[in-house]
C-alpha cells in the first residue's frame, strides 16, 4: 500500500522516515484560514489535518493511506500559528516567555479505497524560561521562527528556551511518532 504525507514540513518528513522508508509527499493546497477556531484546540487541529488529507485524497487514484497533520501552540485561549513577520514572531515569544503553553498536533489518516478515517489529537505541555529581549531578537533575526507554530522549533536553536516538557517531544516537532505508529498498525500497515 502506498503512503502519502500531505505536508511540506521537513520535520514531519524526517519523523515519518523513522517509521517508513518509502512514502510520497503531496502537499495539500487547502486554505487553512477558511477554518475558524471554535474554542477547542483539539477539534481545530483535527479539522485542519483532515481537510489537508481530503484535499490530497482528491488527487489520488490508487490504494493509498494519506496522512494529514497540523500543529498549533495554544496559550491563554489563543492559537499561535506560524508568525507572519518579525514583529509577530517577537510578540509570540515574548508572550511565551516564563510561561507554560500547550502544543496540539493532530494526525488524520484516510484510506483512499475504504474511506476509513483515523484521527488523533496529541497535547504536550511546554514550559519556557524567562527570555530576555536580546535573546528573542537574535532568535527572530536567525529566521528560524517563520515556518513554525508559536515561532520556535524545539529541535533547533529554540531548544534553549525550553525548561521542560510534559508529554511527547516529537509532538512539539509536529508529529508524534508513537501515535502515528499505533494508528498505522490499526490500519493494517506492517512496520
Catalytic residues: 70
Give me 161's grid cell: 528556551
Tell me phi and psi for residue 110, to 5 degrees.
-120, 130
**What's the rounded Cα separation, in Å, for the pair 119 and 68?**
9
DSSP annotation of 22 reads: S
Give me 169's grid cell: 517531544
- Other C-beta atoms lying within 10 Å of the C-beta of residue 58: 10
Inter-residue contact 23 to 184 (CB < 8 Å): no
**What's the rounded Cα separation, in Å, for the pair 161 and 174?**
17
Does the CA dihedral 72-73-77-78 come out positive or negative?
negative
Amino acid at each position: 500500500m502506498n503512503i502519502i504525507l500531505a505536508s511540506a514540513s521537513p520535520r514531519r518528513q524526517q519523523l515519518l522516515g523513522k517509521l517508513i522508508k518509502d512514502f510520497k509527499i503531496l502537499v495539500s493546497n487547502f486554505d487553512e484560514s477558511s477554518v475558524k477556531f471554535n474554542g477547542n484546540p483539539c477539534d481545530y487541529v483535527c479539522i485542519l489535518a483532515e481537510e489537508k488529507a481530503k484535499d490530497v485524497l482528491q488527487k489520488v487514484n490508487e490504494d493509498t493511506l494519506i496522512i494529514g497533520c497540523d500543529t498549533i501552540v495554544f496559550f491563554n485561549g489563543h492559537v499561535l500559528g506560524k508568525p507572519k513577520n518579525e514583529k509577530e514572531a517577537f510578540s509570540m515569544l515574548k508572550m511565551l516567555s516564563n510561561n507554560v503553553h500547550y502544543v496540539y498536533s493532530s494526525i488524520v489518516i484516510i484510506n483512499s479505497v475504504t474511506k476509513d478515517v483515523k484521527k488523533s489529537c496529541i497535547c504536550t505541555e511546554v514550559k519556557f524560561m524567562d527570555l530576555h529581549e536580546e535573546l528573542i531578537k537574535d532568535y527572530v533575526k536567525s529566521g528560524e521562527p517563520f515556518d513554525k507554530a508559536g515561532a520556535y522549533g524545539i529541535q533547533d536553536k529554540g531548544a534553549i528556551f525550553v525548561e521542560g516538557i510534559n508529554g511527547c517531544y516529537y509532538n512539539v516537532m509536529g508529529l508524534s511518532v508513537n501515535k502515528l505508529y499505533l494508528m498505522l498498525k490499526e490500519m493494517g500497515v506492517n512496520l
